[in-house]
C-alpha cells in the first residue's frame, strides 16, 4: 500500500497580506485530497511567531486560530539530514517528515523569495516559483526591468527609493508629470493585493500617494495610466507551462484596489474574458512569454491590460502566489479550463516534486 505523503500548508505571515493569506489557506486546506496526503499546517503571526495549527480551518479568517487552543510552537528545520517540522510538545520535540510544502503566504516574508530560500536550504520540495523568480516577481521595478529586456509591452514607468526621493522630491515629481502624465498609478515596489496603491490625478495627490506607498516599502514604482480592460491568465507548469482560459475583471471601484478585491462584493469577474478570441490567444501567449522570461515554475497569475482604443495587449504584473480564496481568479480560471480545485492542488504538489527531482 502506497504511504500517504506528508504535506505542509503555511499561512499568515509577517505581511500586509496576512489576513488574505489566512483565507486562501483555509480553502487550500479544505481541498487537498485527503486520500493522498497527510496534511499539516503552520501559521505565522503578524509578528513572526510560528505555530503548528491542528484545529478547524474555519478558524483561520481573522486570526481566530490563535485563540483556538489548537496551536503548538513549531519550526521548520533547515538541516537536510533532519529536515521537516520540529514541534515543541510538552513531552518533548516531535519530528515530522514533510514531503512537500505549499507556502500560501502572500506578500513580504513569504512570496518574495525569503521562504523559498529557507525551503531550498532545507531540501524540501515546495509549490511555486524558486527563490530568485519569487524575488524578481515580487519587486515591481525588477519585474518591469526584466519585462523591458524581454520586449514585453507594458506601461511607461519610473521607480525611486525613499532616500533618493527625499533628496530630489521636486525634481522627481516634475519628471513623473512630464514623462508619465496624469493620472499616474503609484505602487509600493514590494507589496501585493493592491495594498498601498493609489491613483494620482494631480501634483498634490501624487505627493500624497508617494507618502502612502513609502509606508509599505522603501522603493516605489510609478506607472502611466492605461485605459484598458483588466484581464488575467493563470499559468501552470514547470518547463512546459500551460496557460488557462483568460478572465476579465470589472472592478467595483475606480480600479481593482484592496477594497474592490476583498471587501466590496460588487466587482465582477468574466470567465472567459469579454474580448475577442484572437486577443484571448494573444494574452495567453504573452502570459507564457512573461512566465518564462521571469523564470517562473509551478504557478503564477499573469495580469494584462487590453487597451480600449487599439486593443494592444500590455503586461501589468505577475503574482507567484496568487489568491486561493473563494473569489480568487487563479483557481476559477483553472476550473474553467478543466482542472477542479482539488486536482489543481494535487498537480501543484506533483510539480513541486518534479522540480525538486531535476
**pLDDT tens digit sequence for 303-344:** 999 999 999 999 999 999 999 988 899 999 999 999 999 999
C-alpha pair distances (Å), 241 with each of 48, 287, 318, 332, 351: 34, 10, 15, 18, 11
Residues 47-56: tens digit of each pLDDT: 999 999 999 9
Q: How many helices (H) and strands (E) does the chain have?
A: 11, 16
Residues 186-225: tens digit of each pLDDT: 999 987 657 789 999 999 999 999 999 999 999 999 999 9
Burial of 274-306, coded b for 16+ CB within 10 Å and e otherwise, reads ebeeebbebbbebbbbbbebbebbbbbbbbbbb
Residues 222-279: tens digit of each pLDDT: 999 999 999 999 999 999 999 999 999 987 656 545 554 545 467 789 999 999 999 9
The DSSP element (H or E) to which 342 belongs, if any, is: helix 341-356
Domains of the chain and any CATH numbers: 5-126 (3.40.50.20), 136-153+227-356 (3.30.470.20), 157-224 (3.30.1490.20)
Residue identified by cell 532616500 is: 163
- Contact indicator for 154, 147 with CB cutoff of 8 Å: yes
Q: pTM above 0.75?
A: yes
The DSSP element (H or E) to which 143 belongs, if any, is: helix 140-149
Chain-centre distance of CA 88, in angstroms? 30
Amino acid at each position: 500500500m502506497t504511504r500517504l505523503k506528508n504535506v505542509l500548508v503555511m499561512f499568515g505571515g509577517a505581511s500586509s497580506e496576512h489576513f488574505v493569506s489566512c483565507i486562501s489557506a483555509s480553502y487550500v486546506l479544505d481541498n487537498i485530497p485527503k486520500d493522498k496526503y497527510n496534511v499539516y499546517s503552520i501559521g505565522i503571526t503578524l509578528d513572526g511567531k510560528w505555530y503548528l495549527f491542528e484545529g478547524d480551518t474555519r478558524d483561520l479568517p481573522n486570526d481566530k486560530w490563535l485563540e483556538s487552543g489548537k496551536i503548538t510552537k513549531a519550526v521548520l528545520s533547515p538541516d537536510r539530514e533532519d529536515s521537516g517540522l520540529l514541534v515543541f510538545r510538552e513531552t518533548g520535540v516531535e519530528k515530522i517528515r514533510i514531503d512537500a510544502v505549499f507556502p500560501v503566504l502572500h506578500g513580504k516574508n513569504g512570496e518574495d523569495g525569503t521562504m523559498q530560500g529557507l525551503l531550498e536550504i532545507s531540501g524540501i520540495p515546495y509549490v511555486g516559483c524558486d527563490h530568485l523568480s519569487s524575488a524578481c516577481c515580487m519587486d515591481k521595478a525588477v519585474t518591469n526591468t526584466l519585462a523591458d529586456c524581454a520586449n514585453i509591452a507594458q506601461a511607461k514607468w519610473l521607480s525611486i527609493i525613499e532616500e533618493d526621493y527625499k533628496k530630489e522630491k521636486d525634481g522627481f515629481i516634475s519628471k513623473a508629470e512630464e514623462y508619465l502624465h496624469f493620472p499616474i498609478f503609484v505602487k509600493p515596489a514590494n507589496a501585493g493585493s493592491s495594498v498601498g496603491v493609489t491613483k494620482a490625478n494631480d501634483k498634490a495627490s501624487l505627493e500624497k500617494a508617494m507618502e502612502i506607498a513609502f509606508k509599505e516599502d522603501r522603493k516605489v514604482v510609478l506607472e502611466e495610466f492605461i485605459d484598458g480592460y483588466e484581464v488575467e491568465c493563470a499559468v501552470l507548469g514547470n518547463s512546459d507551462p500551460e496557460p488557462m482560459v483568460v478572465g476579465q475583471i470589472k472592478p467595483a471601484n475606480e480600479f481593482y484596489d484592496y477594497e474592490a478585491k476583498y471587501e466590496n462584493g460588487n466587482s465582477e469577474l468574466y470567465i472567459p474574458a469579454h474580448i475577442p478570441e484572437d486577443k484571448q490567444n494573444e494574452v495567453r501567449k504573452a502570459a507564457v512569454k512573461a512566465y518564462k522570461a521571469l523564470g517562473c515554475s509551478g504557478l503564477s497569475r499573469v495580469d494584462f491590460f487590453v487597451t480600449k482604443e487599439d486593443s494592444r495587449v500590455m503586461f501589468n504584473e505577475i503574482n507567484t502566489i496568487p489568491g486561493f480564496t473563494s473569489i480568487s481568479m487563479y483557481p476559477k480560471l483553472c476550473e474553467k479550463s478543466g482542472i477542479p480545485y482539488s486536482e489543481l492542488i494535487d498537480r501543484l504538489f506533483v510539480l513541486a516534486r518534479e522540480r525538486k527531482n531535476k
